Amino acid sequence: MSAPKAIDAVLSDSLILSAEFTQAETVDSLQWLDVPILLNLIDDADLLAEFCRESRGLLEEVEAAVLMLEQNPQNIAPVEVLFRAFHTFKGGAGFLNLDPIHCLTHDLESVLEVLRTGRRSVDQSLIDLILACVDVLVAFLAEVEAQLNGLGIGLPITVVGRSLHEAMLELIAGTQDSEAIPDSEIYRADTAIPFSDSALGSRLQDRISVSAVRLDEAHGAISRIRETLAATPPDTGALVRSLAVQLDELDQLLHSLLWVPTEQLFQRMQRVVRDAAMKAGKPVRLVALGGQTLLDRRWENVLGECLMHLIRNAIDHGIEFPTLRCEQGKPPLGEVTLSAVTRGKHLCIEVQDDGAGIATAKVLQRAVQRGLVASEEVLSELAVYELLFMPGFSTADSVTALSGRGVGLDVVRSNIQKIGGTVAIHSELGRGTRFILQVPLASSEG
């Protein structure tokens, strides 16, 4: 009702603001590296907590991959793991306006891109540099988590990344020496006048992490108790009935912790659309359908990352600029639609844009240029779509803050497959593209 109108009004202004943003993008990222980060705990506490949880896992993968790379520099397979992890980390930092972290991880992507393209081999200076960056990110997450737990709320967090930025530029140029970067030059936390908020404090104290494994164990315990009750002699019937009622209540409570409405996930994408539209210089609105469809909380983070990649791709690659849309008889305001529905034993989430559609000829041409397909080879439409999921494949002519690295769709398929799901594409030139994510519904039994 009023929300879509407000979103449309804000996004329509992006045509004017995009020019300012484009100019800002051309300024050296050094200006952001020393800017103190002030966390918006009142509005973003839940998102920051989720960002920290996901990022901790990503950094664990990064450290393991770096050590593998150090042990066997000739095997560059871990580079893809590093690239995807830092790309995802960068996306989360950009989503939360953590500009210094966004810039630092973008620099790391650029270093890893040099390795992916074979322009530089792995050496100890590169290993030391990546681990130094990991230390910065770990320290940053510790500061964020401390504030989420009520310690030092309101203090600015300063990530001193200038030395790291310069070291990465030198490494790319082949002039970086192997001296370690002192910790004092990498990270520090300045002090400032703190603020207090009683509502925020109670909100933080009420937050706990819920382990999906522990919830499964609780459901298993309920099943075992039911089996015991079933074998109880009939003369204790009243007690059995009372316990059975209480078990049902406990079972429903546990399930309420696992299942959430998809609307909760879709709401997080509103800001993704806004930020991506601003960066692309295109007015775009988000339409969400089927928000009451229930989603297993254990799939929420995976699907959230996938939707982020798909939305950014839709806005950057799919939706046209307003002038072109008007020439084609389309409204200047682009549209991305998210929908959720349960089909049998699966949850289906679709991401659809009303943009230009996938130009299969361009995709095929880029594949030929990269030697992935022979020039005389004829591929079906579905086979061409499959090329889009290849690691490192991109049709973008240049790397932007939104895309061009060839990582997004690779991450989407990989993550969906990990939870037993599938990804399908339907596209029509001039009408738009639709991605269908299908994941299994977790069993409702313990």
- Output the 3-class SS for 310-372: HHHHHHHHHCCCHHHHHHCCCCCCEEEEEEEEEECCEEEEEEEECCCCCCHHHHHHHHHHCCC
- Whether 286 shows a pLDDT value over 80: the answer reads yes
What are phi and psi for residue 435, nearest 5 degrees?
-105, 130
Yes or no: domain 260-440 corresponds to CATH 3.30.565.10: yes
Which range is most confident: 206-210, 228-232, 327-331? 327-331
Instruction: Check if 13-204 and 260-440 are the same fold.
Output: no
* Helix (H), strand (E), coil (C) string for 14-66: HHHHHHHHHHHHCCCCHHHHCCCECCCHHHHHHHHHHHHHHHHHHHHHHHHHH
Which residue from 154, 131, 167, 142 is spatially nearest to 33, judged by alpha carbons?
Answer: 167
For residues 105-112, give the mean pLDDT. Answer: 89
Nearest to 51 by CA among 63, 39, 62, 36: 39
3-state secondary structure labels for all residues of 404-421: CCCCHHHHHHHHHHHCCC
What average pLDDT does the segment 28-56 reach? Answer: 81
DSSP state of 435: E
Dist. CA 408–CA 307, nearest whole Å: 10
Alpha-carbon distance of 289 to 285, in angstroms, equals: 13
Strand-strand pairing, 346-353 and 334-343? antiparallel
Calculate what percentage of the chain has a pLDDT beyond 70. Answer: 76
- The backbone region for 392, taken as left when phi is positive above 0, alpha when psi lies in -120 to 50, beta otherwise, is left
Task: Inform me whether the pLDDT recorded for 420 exceeds 60.
Answer: yes
The domains of the chain are located at 13-204, 212-258, 260-440
The tokens describing 349, both together, are 């989430």
Q: Are strands 294-296 and 432-440 parallel, antiparallel or unpaired?
A: unpaired
- CA dihedral angle for residue 377, residue 380, residue 385, residue 389, rounded to 10 degrees: -50
Torsions phi, psi of 186, nearest 5?
-95, -45
On whether the pTM is more than 0.85, the answer is no
Report pLDDT digits (tens) over 243-258: 777 777 777 777 667 7
Q: At residue 330, does pLDDT exceed 90?
A: yes
Residue with tokens 């399930």: 255
Query: Which one, of 358, 328, 333, 348, lies nearest residue 432 by Cα?
Result: 358
Phi, psi values for residue 348, rounded to 5°: -115, 125
Q: Per-residue pLDDT averaged across 256-284, rounded?
A: 84
Phi/psi for 294 (5° steps) reads: -80, 145
Q: What's domain 13-204's superfamily in CATH? A: HPT domain (1.20.120.160)
pLDDT cut 90: percent of the chain above it: 25
- C-alpha 257: how far from its chain's center? 23
